[in-house]
Homo-oligomer: A and B are copies of this chain.
């Protein structure tokens, strides 16, 4: 874990900055979504290449996304979810309990 990818380091720097609460949350979201998708994919025994094809993208895009390389856009998330026979749920709900 000594050396990391370019964007992984950049993202980490961002998250460490003082007034970066928003960007931090976004990066965190990207990370967790990536993990969720990876989990679903592996549960189905699919390779990144297979998922990529099913979702209309390339293996590199899947890899980048799963690693949290970028904050994905909703269209992409939707296609991935669809390929995985999953539902994409996006909601803005009044805060019930403070994090």
A: which residues have CB within 8 A of B?
A: 22-23, 25-26, 29-30, 33, 36-37, 40, 56, 71-75, 77-82, 84-96, 99
Contacts and interface: CB of A to CB of B under 8 A. Distances in A.
Number of identical protomers? 2
Contacts of A94: 40, 84-87
Contacts of A26: 74-75, 78
Nearest to A88: B92
A32 to B, nearest CB: 9
B73 A73 contact: yes
A70 to B, nearest CB: 10
Given A22-B79, A71-B73, A78-B25, A37 B92 contact: yes
Nearest to A37: B92
Contacts of A74: 26, 29-30, 71-74
